Amino acid sequence: MLNLYNTLTRKKEAFKPLKGRKVGLYTCGPTVYSYAHIGNLRTYVFEDILKRTLLFNDYQVNHLMNITDVGHLTSDADTGEDKIEKTAKKEKKSAYQIAEFYTKAFLKDCEKLNILPPNIIAPATEYIKENISLIQVLEKKGYTYKTKDGIYFDTSKSKDYGKLANMDFDKLNKTLKAGARIELSPEKRNITDFSLWKFSSPNEKRQMEWPSPWGTGFPGWHIECAVINLKYLGNAFKNETFIPEQAETIDIHAGGSDLIPIHHTNEIAQVEAATGKKFVNYWLHGEFLILKDLRMGKSTGNVILIDDLEKKGYSPLSYRYLVLNAHYRKPLEFSWQALNNAQQGLNDISNFIYHCLLKAKPNSSIKLSPVLIDMQKEFKKAINDDLNTPQALAVFWKLIKKYYKEKLDPKQTYQLASIFDTILGLGLDKIKVFPLPQEIQLLNEKREKMRKSAKWTEADKIRKEIEALGFSVNDTKEGTIIQPKNKI
């Protein structure tokens, strides 16, 4: 039984998809105007664990992710510049080039973190007609009004507005007003109202703009996600036309917890107003990464990229391992020391896998012993308890200890570790045992001779030579084990 914490109901619930074993999963993608930092990427690692857990529980997952390549303004309250157009000006490139460049960079980072790619990646600019069609339905139903700068959604007309953030309409309005981040444009009826369609400014030529029944402009950030959801998982479009009666509820929608009060609240408001049906059954949110008492974010200037980790010699997977050491619903504090410990932990795990592989060739059809079957159950229980990765890792470490202490069968142990890694995604399947290069073999033989004749200084010198070539040297009771230092 898989239990997940649902932000909407504020409790852990048994997961029940709408269509048997088929699950629709939507994850909010990046706004592609700069590199994703490791704080952003924590959310994608959490969503990857969610997806892998669903697959592990024999669900067929249809994973959809958007790319926000237009309409996300520098302020979430629909003021300021379009983030992508702004970067295009700064970098002297076209808005489309910026979007393409940072989309590729984002997908590359995800690959380095061993995040499984979505089934569908949907850039917002490819669904402009669908956006217009959904806004027309909202207009017909009386949810919209026009201002000088766009078509807005009137949140006071929405039933249960703010339910995801556990605040009613008044409370959410007061809260947003208290937060200095939101400035109320004079024509907006309520502070929580948001733009569905923004008009291009008459003073400035935009690169990304399209004609619409209301005027030339571009869609708002929140409607883009609603449209892509309804198109692929809600089956509510016939070609580019929105058919409200056809809309289906979606199983899971996930994202970072910062999206709850505005972006996801507004996605719900639009879709439920347009369809009259529940939008999403399970809402899952991942917590922040914290750096020196501040949330990591581009606006605070507190940013570390995957590239920065690599430059300092860390494997991106050591960051994944660090993330898995905290529960996704708890803030995680990043420090270089913590990353260092994570890299050490990951190295120890890969040494253990290497050890198993040295002892026996893996064989996936092998049966597990009762002790290992029990550990598999323990692991599954942890991960199915709202994706408790720290607990699942503790089971993994228990397996490693038991392997060395109780001399477990290496084939079976490797088999179980591989099962664990289908969820953890630490890249352990990439570890292979190759014959040592001849140069290393010769050095090793020379070192053995020195050791046998008690020439310790010379032996130690050769050890350093081997290490300088990227190999580690371990003298064990069963002989010397030489292996590559970086296996993944």
Judged by the rule CB under 5 A, the positions of this chain that interact with Zn ion are: 28, 225
280 contacts 250 by C-beta, under 8 angstroms: yes
Nearest distance from residue 406's CB to Zn ion, in Å? 48
Nearest distance from residue 195's CB to Zn ion, in Å? 15
What the block records as the tokens of 3 is 């239990």
d(CA 100, CA 69): 9
Nearest distance from residue 28's CB to Zn ion, in Å? 3
d(CA 123, CA 192): 26
Residue 82, φ and ψ in degrees, nearest 5: -70, 125
| Residue number with CB closer to Zn ion (120 or 371) | 120
C-alpha triplet 267, 271, 83: angle, nearest 5° = 35
2 contacts 57 by C-beta, under 8 angstroms: yes
| Residue number with CB closer to Zn ion (98 or 225) | 225
| Residue number with CB closer to Zn ion (47 or 421) | 47
| Residue number with CB closer to Zn ion (122 or 426) | 122
DSSP-based three-state secondary structure for 454: coil
| Residue number with CB closer to Zn ion (264 or 463) | 264
Question: Which candidate, 314, 308, 410, places its Cα nearest to that of 363?
Answer: 410
157 contacts 141 by C-beta, under 8 angstroms: no
With 0-12 / 13-18 / 19 or more C-beta atoms within 10 angstroms meaning exposed / middle / buried, residue 146 is middle
What the block records as the tokens of 118 is 């979505």
| Residue number with CB closer to Zn ion (222 or 447) | 222
DSSP-based three-state secondary structure for 61: strand
Nearest distance from residue 66's CB to Zn ion, in Å? 6
Nearest distance from residue 79's CB to Zn ion, in Å? 19
With 0-12 / 13-18 / 19 or more C-beta atoms within 10 angstroms meaning exposed / middle / buried, residue 172 is buried
Only one residue has tokens 């269509």, namely 19
Nearest distance from residue 263's CB to Zn ion, in Å? 5
- The residues, ordered by sequence, that sit 6+ positions from 313 with a Cβ below 8 Å of its Cβ are none
Nearest distance from residue 10's CB to Zn ion, in Å? 21
- The residues, ordered by sequence, that sit 6+ positions from 269 with a Cβ below 8 Å of its Cβ are 153, 155, 158, 161
Phi-psi region of 36 (alpha: psi -120 to 50; beta: other; left: phi over 0): beta
| Residue number with CB closer to Zn ion (117 or 213) | 117
Nearest distance from residue 209's CB to Zn ion, in Å? 21
| Residue number with CB closer to Zn ion (29 or 162) | 29
| Residue number with CB closer to Zn ion (28 or 304) | 28
Q: How far apart are the first and last CA of the chain?
A: 32
Nearest distance from residue 27's CB to Zn ion, in Å? 8
